[in-house]
Structure 1
Amino acid sequence: MPITLSSIKHQLDSKIGENIMVVAQAGRKKVTRRKGVLRETFPAIFVVDLDQDENAFERVSYSYADLLTKSIEVKFGDEEVQAS
Structure 2
Amino acid sequence: MSISIATIKEELENKVGSRIKLVVQTGRKRQTERHGVLSEIYPSVFIVNLDQDENSFERVSYSYADILTHSVEVKFHDHTEEPVE
TM-score, length-normalised on structure 1?
0.93
User: Secondary structure, in 3 states, of the residue corresponding to 2:82?
Assistant: strand
Farther off after superposition, 54-63 or 1-10: 1-10
- The answer to whether the 8 Å contact 2:46/2:64 transfers is yes
Please give the per-residue CA displacement for 1:40-65, whole angstroms capped at 9, x wherever unaligned: 11111000000000000010000000
1:56 matched residue in structure 2: 56
CA distance in 2, matches of 1:43, 1:81: 21
Distance 2:84 2:39 in 1: 19
| Structure 1 segments unaligned to the other structure (5+ residues) | none
- The amino acid that maps onto 2:21 is M
Letter of the 1:48 counterpart: V
Q: Do the aligned residues in 1 keep the contact of 2:75 with 2:84 (CA within 8 Å)?
A: no
Give every structure 1 segment of 4 or more consecutive aligned residues whose post-TM-superposition deviation is greater than 3 Å: none
Report the count of equivalent residues: 83
Counterparts of residues 8-47 of structure 1 (less than 5 Å)? 8-47=8-47
Deviation at 1:29, TM superposition (A): 1.6
Map of 2:73 onto structure 1: 73
Higher-strand-fraction structure: 1
Can you give the 5+ residue segments of structure 2 that lack an aligned partner in the other structure?
Answer: none
8 Å CA contact retained: 1:73, 1:80: no
User: Could you state the TM-score of these two structures normalised by the residue count of structure 2?
Assistant: 0.92
CA RMSD of aligned residues (A): 1.0
